[in-house]
Structure 1
Amino acid sequence: MILNHLWGLYAHPKEEWHTIDARHESFRYSLAHIMIVALIPAICTYFSAVHLGWSIGVGERIYLTADSATLISVAMYFALIIGVFALGLLAHWMAHTFGAEPTYTQTLELAAYTSTPLFMVGFAALYPELWFVMSVGLVGLAYSVYLLYVGVPILMHIPEERGFIYASSVVTCGLVLLVCVMTATAILWSSGFGPAFTH
Structure 2
Amino acid sequence: MEQLIARIRGMALSPAQEWQTIAREPIELVPVFTRYVMPLAAIPAIAGFLLLAMVGLFFTGLSSMIVGYILSVVGVFVMAKIVEILAPKFGGPQDADAALKLAVFSPTVAWVAGAAIIIPILGGIVALVGGLYALYTLYLGVPIVMRVPQEKALTFTLAVIGVAIVVNIAVRLLTGVFI
Q: Tell me whether the two structures share a fold, i.e. TM-score over 0.5.
A: yes
2:57 to 55, 64, 74: 64
Give 1:121 shift.
2.7
Measured in 2, the distance between the counterparts of 1:121 and 1:180 equals 26
2:45 maps to amino acid: A
Change (3 A) 1:122 1:141: closer
Aligned ranges 1:86-125 → 2 under 5 Å: 86-125=78-117
Give 1:142 shift.
1.5
Structure with greater helix percent = 2
2:42 maps to amino acid: L
- Taking only the aligned residue pairs, the percentage that are identical comes to 27
Aligned with 1:10: secondary structure? helix
Measured in 1, the distance between the counterparts of 2:167 and 2:108 equals 16
1:179 maps to amino acid: I
- Structure 1: 4+ residue segments shifted above 6 A: none
Change (3 A) 1:126 1:167: same
1:64 maps to amino acid: L
Using structure 2 for the length normalisation, give the TM-score.
0.86
Aligned with 1:137: secondary structure? helix
1:22 maps to amino acid: R
Indicate yes or no: 2:137 matched with 1:147.
Answer: yes
Change (3 A) 1:124 1:50: same
Q: Deviations over 1:28-82 (max 9, x none)?
A: 232121111111011111112113x2xxxxxxxxx213x4422221111101111
1:26 aligned partner: 28
1:165 aligned partner: 155
2:39 aligned partner: 36
Indicate yes or no: 2:27 matched with 1:17.
Answer: no
Q: Which has the larger radius of gyration?
A: 1
| Contact in 2 for aligned 1:37/1:120 (Cα 8 Å) | yes
Give ranges in structure 2 of 5+ residues lacking alignment: none
| Contact in 2 for aligned 1:24/1:106 (Cα 8 Å) | no
Give 1:181 shift.
4.9
1:60 aligned partner: none
Q: Deviations over 1:93-117 (max 9, x none)?
A: 1112122224323212101111122
- Give me the CA root mean square deviation: 2.2
| Contact in 2 for aligned 1:42/1:74 (Cα 8 Å) | yes
| Contact in 2 for aligned 1:83/1:177 (Cα 8 Å) | no
Aligned with 1:101: secondary structure? coil
Structure 1 residues 175-184 or 150-159, which shifts more?
175-184
Change (3 A) 1:110 1:46: same
Measured in 2, the distance between the counterparts of 1:91 and 1:157 equals 12
